[in-house]
Structure 1
């Protein structure tokens, strides 16, 4: 997996991302152009029109991030609106789903969990499942922002997307579960920029407070944690509700809302989402009752294949069809480190260690 090291001003950070990962950004754009056309009969010009609606609100909400998006576009040799489209693809999907309810929508599915160990330290992990055609366009992005009080960030993301799944030098980690609910509000923060905002925070509570204040444009579950606390943020365009650790110190989530969200329309999407939340909860309880859970054994839960191929460790239903686990990330937040396992957790192809607290300016 390509690793990109970015530092400097927001524009410079974006420009380095776009320049070094130029081929992968082009790959992401091609993948989503095809994805929108195949699943929504929406051509890229229509996608760009939807994305344009977010530029002005984002310039007011988060000017630094718009500068980074502009730098990324310039580095990759594409238009700003193309890069914005990648970063608001969740919201564009849900906007279309709201206006044309019969639309067949596909988005990434995942299984995530946080666990607070008996010593109070928090572990955070997830499998990220998506179509294998997007695997070559995944990158690890390291971000160092000198002259600011913002923490360093190391995250796994789709090339061209500036906020995703990762860990920062303050020991804050973020995970994402896609949620398919109707409704979008372009005056609020898109889910992927909400993830970036969380990764620029120094505690889980600070991240949650920021997102409560701004709100999210679309739906998703953001699991944000630090070394002692984890907060599950079920986000919709209407509002955000939080889930905390249960009595066993566990907090699992998949791809459906667990809390009641009045006024939110969430039709069924992935039937296996309810099976996976049940299964990951069972595995957590079983492991706690036997050997206990540490950073190493936490990963083992995500190798589970009960319900194959739509299991926690997901496989394609047939060659080229359906989604598959593309990577696992397993974080030890007290030690401010994470292990990225590329590929399905039982037959992975590469391992990458993330330690953003060791990062320095490479420019």
Structure 2
């Protein structure tokens, strides 16, 4: 798969369509043929494209007369029946009308807050259409530009407008879908990007749509330093809305987030992967106040669900009309009015920072804390805080019978325990000790001075010890016990480069 692009030069609908049709006649014909096969497979019999296309053409005109003219121009330029172009623009509606199930696709992440919004979508669709899409730049006579990722011959899908609006797209499934042909959702998406001058205008366009195939159109808006996002869940029963959480994060996969539509959701039976994808994104992005595009892509890099994963790949064991994959990963820059489209899933995106599974390593940083269990918390507090002079990491409340001591580069937690007896004391001679954790050591600058300070205050385990490694690094150290018999050291290290 590669990312192809085209910029229109004509600004009137008919001429723009004709220019596009002439430039991409072969690709548009291939898209029509591909959908003819998909419709037939899903319906279990050949589908009359002229019939469905005629119904679709009426609904396209109801959404936008300009876009109906553009469809006619594309058909003329590509030398195809206008009903064929209208039919692929209503491909979601026709799939619903013929009773198709199993078309589960797309995961969307938006974050709004301080700075520019982050808006990313993994577009999953039929693998057979992997070479049937492009990025189309559409200048308008008034100077604003619509940019959309779409399929050849289809007016629009995911996109942005230089008026500060962006749109992401997720298919939904409602138990009332498929009653004839309603307003085609792909045409609605393009109409919003072409016509809406602000967020309210976009919402009014979508909220009054009469659809026959449910979809979530997530609109992102930027104006005067502010940003907002809302998922508009268009369905035959009306419209619902989903908003960002308190951290500005808005996620959508392929199930309804609003009521009452959620009570009519077919996806929960036919495509339950949607709830796992949603939860995976929620957990991976939780707590991030300003996630970057790279962090979102990393969160999307999951193959847990196979063919229903956030980043999905075609299952070669299935027939071609039943294979789905992530065809493109799209990021919108709503403020700039541009988009970037990567051919393929998040796992192959150049901004994705997740290493391949076979080379991934656990990213341990440092020892944060350690615990000692004791029958006498106060005795150890007196020793570590009083005798050794180490500060508390957290305020000490004797009645609570625990303490947190700051060891400098880690925290020692002391907890009360009345169970059993303390393990036998250890010695400074390793071969004499049973397996297990042995001791911990405090670095000091001057062992002589530290020994002099501790003399009479601690119980020494042994005399001073010196050990030298062949590399030249050597240590002087001396072990001692705390009141419970845990063994500690003071050590004076001498690295080779010292």
Aligning the two structures, in what range does the TM-score lie when normalised by the shorter sequence?
Answer: 0.7 to 0.9
* Cα pair 2:111 2:118 within 8 Å, conserved: yes
Deviation at 1:166, TM superposition (A): 1.2
- Counterpart pick for 1:114 among 110, 114, 120: 110
1:54–1:25: structure 2 CA closer, same or farther, 3 Å change rule?
same
| Residue 259 (structure 2) pairs with residue 260 (structure 1) | yes
Partner of 2:235 in structure 1? 236
Structure of greater relative contact order (alpha carbons < 8 Å, 6+ residues apart): 1
SS in 1 for 2:257: coil
1:173 maps onto 2:180 in alignment: no
Q: 2:177 aligned to 150, 172, 183, which one? A: 183
Candidates 211, 217, 221, aligned match of 1:226: 221
Match of 1:47 in 2: 49
Deviation at 1:155, TM superposition (A): 1.0
Deviations 1:48-95 (A, max 9, x none): 212212323433442111100000001111001000000111111222
Q: Match for residue 126 of structure 1?
A: 121
Aligned position for 2:299? 301
Instruction: Indicate conservation of the 8 Å contact 2:62/2:183, yes or no.
Output: no
Q: Distance in 1 between the 2:145 and 2:263 partners?
A: 35
In structure 1, distance between residues paired with 2:136 and 2:172: 24
Residue matched to 1:357: none
Cα RMSD (Å) = 2.3
Which entry has the higher C-alpha Rg, 1 or 2?
2
Aligned to 1:311: 309
- Separation in 1 of the partners of 2:53 and 2:237? 20
SS in 1 for 2:342: strand
**Which residue number in structure 2 is paired with residue 11 of structure 1?**
14
Query: Are the aligned partners of 1:314 and 1:324 in contact in 2 as well (CA < 8 Å)?
Result: yes
Q: 1:229-269 CA deviation, whole Å, 9 max, x = no partner?
A: 11101111221111111112111011111222259743222
Shift of 1:35: 0.5
Q: Is the 8 A contact 1:315 1:325 kept in 2?
A: yes
Answer whether contact 2:150 2:158 (CA < 8 A) is retained: yes
The DSSP-based 3-state class of the residue aligned with 2:219 is strand
Cα distance in 2 for residues equivalent to 1:298 and 1:166? 18
Deviations 1:309-331 (A, max 9, x none): 43211122335552111111112
1:93-172 equivalences under 5 Å are 93-97=95-99, 104-107=100-103, 109-117=105-113, 119=114, 121-146=116-141, 148=142, 151-172=144-165
* Residues 306/183 of structure 1: CA separation in 2 closer, same or farther (3 Å cut): closer
Q: Return closer, same or farther for 1:64/1:217 CA change in 2, 3 Å cut-off.
A: farther
Deviation at 1:145, TM superposition (A): 1.6
1:10 Cα shift? 0.3
In the superposition, the TM-score normalised over structure 1's length comes to: 0.86
Aligned counterparts, 1:76-87, within 5 A: 76-87=78-89
Over 3 Å counting, the alpha-carbon distance change for 1:225 and 1:185 in structure 2 is farther
Per-residue CA deviations over 1:125-174 (Å, capped at 9, x if unaligned) read 1100112210111111111121x47x311111010100211111123111
Task: Provide the rounded CA distance (Å) in 1 between the counterparts of 2:220 and 2:87.
Answer: 28
Q: Specify which structure has the higher proportion of helix.
A: 1
- Alpha-carbon distance change, 349 to 84 in structure 1, aligned in 2, over 3 angstroms: farther
Check whether the contact 1:203–1:225 (CA below 8 A) recurs between aligned residues: no
Q: Secondary structure at the match of 1:312?
A: coil
Distance 1:243 1:236, change over 3 A: same
Pairing partner for 1:202 from 190, 197, 205: 197
In structure 2, stretches of 5+ residues that fail to align are 352-498
Equivalence for 2:489:
none
Residue 21 of structure 1, aligned match among 11, 19, 24? 24
Aligned to 2:67: 65
Q: Residue 51 of structure 1 contacts residue 92 of structure 1 at CA under 8 Å; is this kept in 2?
A: no
On the 8 A contact 1:295/1:331 being kept in 2, the answer is no
Counterpart secondary structure, 1:189: coil
What is the count of residue pairs matched by the alignment? 337
Decide whether aligned partners of structure 1 residues 96 and 333 sit closer, same or farther in structure 2, where only a CA change above 3 A counts. Answer: same
Confirm or deny: 8 A CA contact 1:50 1:92 kept in the other structure.
yes
